[in-house]
Amino acid sequence: MDERPMASMQSVIRLLKSIDPNWKISLAGDFHPEIEAGIDDYCVASRWQFPENILQSRKAAGKISTWYTCCTEPYPNGFTFSPPDEHVWIGYYTAAKHFDGYLRWAYNSWTANPLTDSRFTAWPAGDTYQVYPGPLSSIRFEKMIEGVQGFEKVQYLRNLYTKSGDNARLSELENALKKFDIPLLATQTASDHVRAIEVLVNRED
């Protein structure tokens, strides 16, 4: 289900569960605690976060909890004009907030002339695609890959430091991740946050 209002989702959940209680339901949209328990794969818009207790209960139940950006968020995002490091920042933000992943709504929904003009009606330029026909990559897409790699490094290091009992480095990592909060991007650059945490995740000792 895609950005459906809560009342509609309540009706759909009741219908599907009446047919088969084991039916799995996925939703990308706003967070509604009233329907959270009925959503197996819940992807919330960037203005939302799962309450910590709900996020932990979802993880324990094996449910997927992710977040997404689209045409409405000025930052962080993957528009043609977005600072490239915002896509890297997204990966670390995903780790910082303990999401399972991130959804970029459009990968190759090309405009009429995608190689020369990334504008599309009222949406910001580049909103509808991250790669070009050919296929050709883009700085935005390569930076998204870099963000995925950053997310995986954080997961690895969290596990490593926890198992080894290296609380000092674990605390250092978690404190750096606290900088990854969307409101901070109004006055600070994604690059500043990314450069700071890369010192920790890429060190060789």
For the chain, what are the domain ranges?
A: 6-201
CA distance linking residue 205 with residue 111, whole number of Å: 47
pLDDT digits (tens, 9 = 90+) for 54-64: 999 999 999 99
CA distance linking residue 93 with residue 106, whole number of Å: 20
Residue 81 and residue 124 in contact, taking contact as beta carbons nearer than 8 Å:
yes
pLDDT digits (tens, 9 = 90+) for 108-152: 999 999 999 999 988 999 999 999 999 999 999 999 999 999 999
DSSP 159-174: HHHHHHT-HHHHHHHH
CA distance linking residue 194 with residue 34, whole number of Å: 36
Q: Which of 41, 79, 47 is CA-nearest to residue 61?
A: 41
CA distance linking residue 172 with residue 181, whole number of Å: 17
Q: Give the chain's residues under pLDDT 50.
A: none
Residue 50 and residue 94 in contact, taking contact as beta carbons nearer than 8 Å:
no
Residue 180 and residue 193 in contact, taking contact as beta carbons nearer than 8 Å:
yes
- pTM of the predicted protein model: 0.94
Look up residue 119 and give its DSSP letter: -
- pLDDT given at position 122: 86
Chain centroid to CA 81: how far?
A: 19
